[in-house]
Structure 1
Amino acid sequence: MVDEADHNDDEQPRDDSAYELDPRAVAGILYAVDTKDQARLIELMEPMHAADIADLLEQLNAFDRGRLIRLYDREFDGDILSELDEGLREDVIAILHPEVLADAVRELDSDDVVDLIEDLEQPQQDVILGALEETDRLAVRQAMSYPEGSAGRLMQREVVMAPEHWNVGQAIDYMRNSDHMPEQFYHVILVDPRMHPVGNVTLGKLMGARRDTPLHDITEEMFTVIPATQDEEDVAYAFNQYHLISTPVVDDEGRLAGMITIDDAMAVLDEEHEEDIMRLAGVGDESSLSDSVADTVKRRLPWLAVNLLTAILASLVIALFEDTLARFVALAVLMPIVASMGGNAGTQSLTVAVRSLATRDLTGSNVWRVIRREVLVGLLNGLVFAVIMGVVGLIWFGSPQIGYVIAIAMVINLVVAGLAGTVIPVLMDKMGVDPALASGTFVTTVTDVVGFFVFLGLAGMVLL
């Protein structure tokens, strides 16, 4: 019998705005700010998640944002700072009262504090560090001593560990009586006498086992330790590849230094994906809606200049066939079609290649197979559109020769597009250059130059 409830759930329309800020709530908050009604403002913002409050602050202009923060005052939560866009953190911290900032920062785990201060200027770093207790300040400074973008920066110092010879009852009693337990954790890390992690015990197995069960009897089969100096991208890949929830981090001597949890690893993946998208579009890897006009211009101008140079290169190719274009106006009409189709096909192959390189699916062992596939796809797509454009050229201009020319040019340019869209990012990755950073410009240049050269060259041979 079909479950009617499940069937009805499937038919319910999806509410895409379920997790968006309620416009009415935002209007109420702004009205409370305008009327300086602090009690009403706190009442409206109390049920909001820290991430939603951060989104609200990012959407407001600087004037309204400052008024809201000053009125919200001591209710400001440290998690809001963690959720804020990096470009706004300095502005918000500058507005907060020092005592409010101190209380907000003390609520954060060490990894969140590191993430908060690593992009700030030294004076603001000192303000935040000064608000921490001595032990927390030492932990943050130690984490900051690791290279930027490393596991040491990503890890949190708050961990739950137990000697490997303990049993379940001893571990449970220890956790119940401890005053320094993390608010959220997933594993108890077993350590040997030299503080080397030797295993993980999940909370589910811990709570389901008898009290006299040795902890080493219920450890997880999959156990991974991460060096503190390991790149955070490799850490995120390991979490995604091996379905990790949390894993210990060790120092140079193999001793337990901290722990990385899945939320931090997934945040790294999200940042990498966002950076790839931004770089593919040539708008920088740290662009946001809160950036000033000057900052936005500064990031975009260099890539627009590169695009201008490549456009000039394509124009020089066109200039070589000036006489041909002067005699056959139809070529000027059809020429952008060849270049545009090649550019789009190249972008498709490029996107697949860059994503596969980022997820490490594209490697030396399968690169030639992928290149052959993209070239074959370009060939087949080219043949399909060659037939279409051949017919269009014949009907539109009444010239079979023009139809032949654009058909052959279409096939060649789409094959080149598939080849360039795969080979260029692979070569850049081999040279240590981020393939998402400049591949798009080079691929577009190749397809434009080849498209114009082949189309106009063939036209010159066939029509003249």
Structure 2
Amino acid sequence: MSDEIQNPEAERDEAAYSLGRKDVAAILYAVDIDDRETLTRLMEPLHAADIADLLEQINSYDRARLIRLYDREFDGEILTELDESIREEVIAVLNPQILADAVRELESDDVVDLVEDLDEPQQEAILGALDDADRVAVQQALSYPEYSAGRLMQREVVMAPEHWTVGEAIDYIRSSEHLPEQFYHIVLVDPRMHPVGNVTLGRLMGSARKVKLRDIMEDVFQIIPVDQDEGDVAYAFNQYHLISAPVIDENGRLVGVITIDDAMAVLDEEHEEDILRLAGVGESSLSDSIFETTRQRLPWLVVNLGTAILASIVIAQFEGTLQSLVALAILMPIVASMGGNAGTQSLTVAVRAIATRDLTGSNIWRVIRREAAVGLINGLVFAVMMGVVSLIWFGSPALGMVIALAMIINLLVAGLAGIAIPVVMERVGIDPALASGTFVTTVTDVVGFVAFLGMASMVLL
């Protein structure tokens, strides 16, 4: 009996907000028999993000066949949803005219996001498909530093003079032929094109026509400099609950707007990047080739090998102690493992707090004291537990005391290392998510081995 029949609930859960296995199989079958009509019928109800997921999940051969069969219906939004690792491949397969039509449908910020990571020939192909005004806007955005607000913003802005009334603004919006596909505010500007406030569409539509726009401005108003780092932009949106924010150039003039979807995408990317870096895999993707995946992981495995050798060198200094008492070799991994896990717990909290800017100079010492206290309390708890286990297991009160003391020392150090190492790395300009795990594990291993084997040498031999 198939998995689907055995567990229909699992199939429904899997397909709740994504393509189920049956859907993927039906689409690939339509591709296999070269049935454009069936393929179009199956793909038509799908959101662009779901189609992008489908393209990412199948292999290169099926991906190319599907794109060629579906190309007439290809939507530009699909390209913006695709993982960067396969975006170039998809663009290379698309018919140039289909690609041009797809790109013309996109907002300027989506086009910038699309072309900034492509090779120059593909960049030129996409830019060449744009109207003159759109092409100039995208090229200007690309002139701003990478990962800046200028790259993130869209040039299409709904603005109005601050002295206008609600009625004048509504009439203007209704008569405009080039509104953004989605917008949340009208940006009010002074005669020098400096933004002075926002009016939400809700307040606009709920106010009388004669009301002045300046009288219904939002209380919270944040202006984003065009060269501000996109991480700072995302933080501002999250911190102040923004929906959109105007972007200004060096002269304070309005040049664009950033919306919440783009800001949250940055936050999502940064969180994903931190998770991957904590595991030492960089910007890895399921679509990466074997060679690319190996290249990304190998350097940090080399670093881990070096730190493991360092821990082994420490153990080698107590070779005579280990030969004299085999029980030490049995218990030694417990001390190192507990320290490593405790250090990882503190490290994860610290990296997240640094990323969300909750860990600052004003509270760093309070947090360090807290982690030290937690490490000490946990150390005492597990010291009692392991002391009793060692006594029962090996019948040696002295051995129980040694492992108990080593556990206290190592969990205390683990708590301190887990918070201190990422803070130090952040202060010296190194991404704490990238290398902290390796160093925290090394510290807990070395301290654990030295404490346990050192005290065993003094007490037991």
**TM-score interval w.r.t. the shorter chain?**
over 0.9
Residue in 1 aligned with 2:405? 408
2:457 is aligned with 1:460: yes
Residue 79 of structure 1 pairs with residue 77 of structure 2: yes
CA distance in structure 2 between the aligned counterparts of 1:27 and 1:305, rounded to whole angstroms? 41
2:360 corresponds in structure 1 to: 363
In structure 2, C-alpha distance between the alignment counterparts of 1:396 and 1:117, rounded to whole Å: 64
1:228-264 CA distance string (max 9 Å, x none): 0000000000000000000000001000010000000
Letter in 2 for 1:259: V
2:9 aligned residue: none
Secondary structure of residue in 1 paired with 2:275: helix
Deviation at 1:210, TM superposition (A): 0.7
Give 1:351's aligned residue: 348
Superposed, 1:38-437 pairs within 5 Å as 38-284=36-282, 286-437=283-434
Query: What stretches of structure 2 of length at least 5 have no aligned partner?
Result: 1-11
- Give the counterpart letter for 2:431 in structure 1: D
> Which AA in structure 2 matches 1:380?
I
Structure 1: how far apart are the matches of 2:61 and 2:399? 61
1:148 maps to amino acid: E
Secondary structure in structure 1 of the residue aligned to 2:255 = strand
Instruction: Give the number of equivalent residue pairs.
Output: 450
CA distance in 2, matches of 1:20, 1:330: 53
How big is the shift at 1:275? 0.4
Would you say the 8 A contact 2:14–2:20 is kept in 1? no
Partner residue in 1 for 2:443: 446
How far off is 1:199 after superposition? 0.7
CA distance in 1, matches of 2:320, 2:80: 62
SS for the counterpart of 1:138 is helix
Deviation at 1:164, TM superposition (A): 1.1
Deviation at 1:15, TM superposition (A): 4.3
**TM-score (norm. length: structure 1):** 0.96
Q: 1:17 Cα shift?
A: 4.3
5+ residue gaps, structure 1: 1-13
Task: Measure the CA separation in 2 of the matches of 1:67 and 1:385.
Answer: 59
Please give the TM-score of this superposition, normalised by the length of structure 2.
0.97
What is the letter of the counterpart of residue 26 of structure 2? G
Secondary structure of the structure 1 residue equivalent to 2:425: helix
What is the letter of the counterpart of residue 379 of structure 2? G
Amino acid at match of 1:446: V
What displacement does 1:165 show?
Answer: 1.2
Q: 2:7 maps to which residue?
A: none
Secondary structure of the residue that 2:188 maps to in structure 1? strand
- 1:198 alignment partner, SS class: strand
Provide the alpha-carbon RMSD of the alignment: 0.8
* Secondary structure of the structure 2 residue equivalent to 1:259: strand
CA deviations over 1:17-41 (Å, ceiling 9, x no partner): 4112122111110110000000000
CA offsets, 1:74-101, max 9 Å, x none? 1111000000000000000000000010
Take 1:34 and 1:100, find their aligned partners in 2: how far apart are those partners? Answer: 22
| Pairwise CA distance, 1:317 | 0.3
* Cα distance in 1, alignment partners of residues 297 and 243 from structure 2: 38
Matched, 1:28 2:11: no
